[in-house]
Chain A
Amino acid sequence: DQQVKQNSPSLSVQEGRISILNCDYTNSMFDYFLWYKKYPAEGPTFLISISSIKDKNEDGRFTVFLNKSAKHLSLHIVPSQPGDSAVYFCAASVGGNKLVFGAGTILRVKS
């Protein structure tokens, strides 16, 4: 039973436009959420996180939104760049415990 779900296996966006990646979760005890980015043949790298006490966190071109009532979070990338093309993983944890990951979304940014 997947506690963290990324229902879109892939997303294609034009350079300069907004990329929106979505993630749903089922465990209401999750209190910390993260996004990781992964290039082929490399380990995931941390991108941005949000605590459950907040509904938005911004870092440069990246913004994460959390909707606790809907158990939904999203990652917005504006503007999208070709170098953003990668696999994006959503992850969640309870009280700083082990991270539970979604299946990932492949983002392709076309120039």
Chain B
Amino acid sequence: DVKVTQSSRYLVKRTGEKVFLECVQDMDHENMFWYRQDPGLGLRLIYFSYDVKMKEKGDIPEGYSVSREKKERFSLILESASTNQTSMYLCASSFTLLMNTEAFFGQGTRLTVV
């Protein structure tokens, strides 16, 4: 079974802090994604990566950055956390972009910025 693991289920951070969300997948997937889920807005793509050290902006990249130093690990960084970044963050992975295939999600990180 594909496993996508996010390092924390719940996080509480202060405004202005630098926040790291970690994600690891064990299926040798090329693609990895970070989404955030907000009520009434569904899942919105923040950043994705199709290879090590490669990254592409999604629909809402402002205030975020990412790092992919190893194939299995994709980190989301909130440079200076703000209250409007309080959300559920979901990491996902999938095989090559050239294939129509589903993405597998982690269990999510509920981040609260106070």
Count, chain A residues at interface, CB 8 A? 28
Q: Could you tell me if B42 and A96 are in contact, using CB atoms closer than 8 angstroms?
A: no
A51 to B103, CA, bound (A): 15
Tell me which residues across on chain A come within 8 A of B100, comparing CB atoms.
Answer: 31-32, 49, 51, 93, 95-96
Chain B, range 38-76, C-beta contacts under 8 Å to A: 40-45, 48, 58
Tell me which residues across on chain B come within 8 A of A101, comparing CB atoms.
Answer: 35, 42-44
A103 to B38, CA, bound (A): 9
Whether a CB of chain B sits under 8 angstroms from the CB of A45 is: yes
Tell me which residues across on chain A come within 8 A of B8, comparing CB atoms.
Answer: none
Measured CB to CB, the closest approach of chain A to B92, in angstroms, equals: 8
A41 to B6, CA, bound (A): 13
Q: Could you tell me if B48 and A98 are in contact, using CB atoms closer than 8 angstroms?
A: yes
Count, chain B residues at interface, CB 8 A? 28
**Nearest CB to that of A32 among chain B residues?**
B100
Q: Could you tell me if B48 and A96 are in contact, using CB atoms closer than 8 angstroms?
A: no
Q: Which of B35, B40, B97, B104 contacts A97 (CB 8 A)?
A: B97
Chain A, range 73-111, C-beta contacts under 8 Å to B: 89, 91, 93, 95-104
Given contacts A41-B9, A99-B43, A101-B42, 4 further A-B contacts (CB under 8 A): A43-B106, A44-B90, A46-B104, A103-B40
Q: 19 A-B Cβ contacts within 8 A? A: A36-B105, A41-B9, A41-B110, A42-B107, A43-B90, A43-B105, A44-B90, A45-B105, A46-B103, A46-B104, A49-B102, A89-B42, A91-B43, A96-B97, A99-B92, A101-B35, A101-B42, A102-B42, A103-B41
